[in-house]
């Protein structure tokens, strides 16, 4: 069954991991797992301290050349398919690199205990969600 916007937003906000989809300047898709936080129709993703080759990630360059993104969260249960669901949030993104990162970093720190001792220090992706879509096998 299709989820209404409040139900889709609530499931998304409660999820622990999402996949961020961006597209580069040549139209090639790029999909990565991310930690994130949601407030209303805004989602925040930060470049954190987890090991990476660089903090200048492809997702950031992609957003700077094409700001259209999707965030996908889902739940799968191999034992009980009545518990399956997914939510996709489509919108426009921008990369924050200054003091405007502080509030969304606070959202992430509140959601993930791992960030309390070491808040993300890298850029923040802020997504203005324009469309929420979702489906659940059961209510």
CA distances from 114 to 49, 79, 109, 120 (A): 10, 30, 8, 10
In angstroms, the CA 105 to CA 136 distance is: 30
Q: Rounded to two decimals, what is the model's pTM? A: 0.93
Burial of 135 (0-12, 13-18, 19+ CB in 10 A): middle
Q: Where are the domains of the chain?
A: 5-136
Note the CATH number of domain 5-136: 2.30.110.10
91 three-class SS:
strand
Contacts of 114 (CB under 8 A, 6+ apart): none
In sequence order, which ranges of the chain are alpha helices (DSSP H)? Answer: 5-14, 58-65, 102-111, 114-117
Residue among 60, 61, 44 nearest 110 (CA): 44
**DSSP-derived secondary structure letter, 131:** E
**Mean pLDDT per segment of 10 residues, for the chain of length 139 residues?**
96 97 94 97 89 74 96 96 97 96 97 95 96 94
């Amino acid at each position: 069954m299709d989820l209404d916007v409040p139900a889709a937003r609530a499931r998304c906000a409660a999820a622990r991991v999402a996949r961020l989809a961006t597209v580069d300047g040549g139209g090639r898709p790029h999909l990565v797992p991310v930690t994130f936080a949601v407030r209303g129709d805004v989602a925040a993703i930060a470049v954190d301290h987890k090991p990476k080759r660089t903090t200048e990630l492809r997702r950031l360059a992609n957003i700077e050349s094409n700001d259209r993104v999707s965030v996908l969260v889902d739940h799968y249960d191999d034992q009980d398919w009545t518990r399956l669901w997914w939510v996709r949030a489509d919108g426009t993104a921008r990369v924050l690199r200054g003091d405007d990162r502080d509030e969304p970093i606070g959202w992430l720190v509140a959601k993930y205990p791992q960030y309390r001792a070491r808040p993300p220090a890298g850029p923040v992706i802020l997504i203005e969600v324009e469309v929420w879509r979702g489906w659940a096998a059961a209510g």
